[in-house]
Amino acid sequence: MTSQPWFAARRELAPNRRLTLAIMSFVLPLLVWCLVSYVPFIWHPMVEVSDPGAVSYFKPGMLVEREVFDREREKVRGEGAALPAGEPANPVYLPAPHQVARAMFTAFTTEPQRRNEKWLHESLGDSITVIALGFLISSLIGVPLGILAGTYDAVSRLNEPFIEFFRYLPAPAFGALAVAVLGIHEAPKIAIIFIGTFFQQVLVVSNTTRKIDPSLLEAAMTLGAKRLNLLFRVVIPGIITDLYKDLRILLGWAWTYLIVAEMIGTSSGITWFITQQARYKNFENVYAAIIMIGIIGLSTDLVLAWLGRRIFPWQRASAA
CATH of the domain at 219: 1.10.3720.10
Q: DSSP character for 86?
A: E
CA–CA separation, 120 and 290 (whole Å): 11
CA–CA separation, 320 and 317 (whole Å): 5
Residue burial 116-148, b: 16+ Cβ < 10 Å; e: rest: ebbebeebbebbbebbebbbebbbeebbebbbb
Q: Are residues 146 and 219 in the same domain?
A: yes
Asked if residue 20 belongs to a domain, the reply is no
Q: Are residues 67 and 187 in the same domain?
A: no
Residues 191/254, Cβ–Cβ less than 8 Å: no
Q: Are residues 60 and 111 in the same domain?
A: no
Q: DSSP character for 172?
A: G
Q: Taking Cα atoms as reference points, which of 122, 126, 99 lies closest to residue 281? A: 99
Q: Are residues 229 and 296 in the same domain?
A: yes
Q: How many helices (H) and strands (E) does the chain have?
A: 14, 3
Asked if residue 102 belongs to a domain, the reply is no
- pLDDT, one tens digit per residue, over 163-192 is 999 989 988 888 888 888 888 788 889 999
- Burial degree of 199 (CB within 10 A; 0-12, 13-18, 19+): buried
DSSP letters of 216-269?
HHHHHHHTT--HHHHIIIIIHHHHHHHHHHHHHHHHHHHHHTHHHHTTSSSS-H
- Burial degree of 235 (CB within 10 A; 0-12, 13-18, 19+): buried
Is the pLDDT at 320 greater than 60? The verdict is no
Asked if residue 32 belongs to a domain, the reply is no
Asked if residue 28 belongs to a domain, the reply is no
In percent, the amount of the chain with pLDDT more than 90 equals 49
Asked if residue 75 belongs to a domain, the reply is yes
In total, the chain counts a number of residues equal to 320
Q: Are residues 248 and 282 in the same domain?
A: yes
- Given this model, what pLDDT does residue 316 score? 63
Q: Which of the listed residues 24, 55, 89 is the one where a domain comes to its end?
A: 89
Q: Are residues 85 and 115 in the same domain?
A: no
Q: Taking Cα atoms as reference points, which of 46, 66, 68 lies closest to residue 57? A: 68
Q: Is the whole model's pTM more than 0.85, yes or no?
A: no
- How many angstroms separate the most distant Cα atoms in the chain? 102
Residues 247/139, Cβ–Cβ less than 8 Å: yes
Q: Are residues 187 and 68 in the same domain?
A: no
Band (pLDDT 50/70/90 cuts) for residue 114 is low
Asked if residue 29 belongs to a domain, the reply is no
Is the pLDDT at 208 greater than 90? The verdict is yes
Q: Are residues 79 and 51 in the same domain?
A: yes
CA–CA separation, 261 and 115 (whole Å): 24
Q: Are residues 80 and 177 in the same domain?
A: no
Query: What is the domain count for the chain?
Result: 2
Q: Are residues 216 and 276 in the same domain?
A: yes
Q: Taking Cα atoms as reference points, which of 101, 69, 71, 98 lies closest to residue 85? A: 69
166 CB neighbour count, 10 Å cutoff:
12
Q: Are residues 143 and 66 in the same domain?
A: no
Q: DSSP character for 151?
A: H
First to last CA, the chain: 23
Asked if residue 4 belongs to a domain, the reply is no
Domain span at 83: 46-89
Helix (H, G, I), strand (E, B) or coil at 100: helix
Is the pLDDT at 23 greater than 90? The verdict is yes
Q: Which of the listed residues 89, 123, 143 is the one where a domain comes to its end?
A: 89
Asked if residue 269 belongs to a domain, the reply is yes
Q: Which of the listed residues 55, 89, 123 is the one where a domain comes to its end?
A: 89
Is the pLDDT at 49 greater than 90? The verdict is yes
Q: Are residues 126 and 265 in the same domain?
A: yes
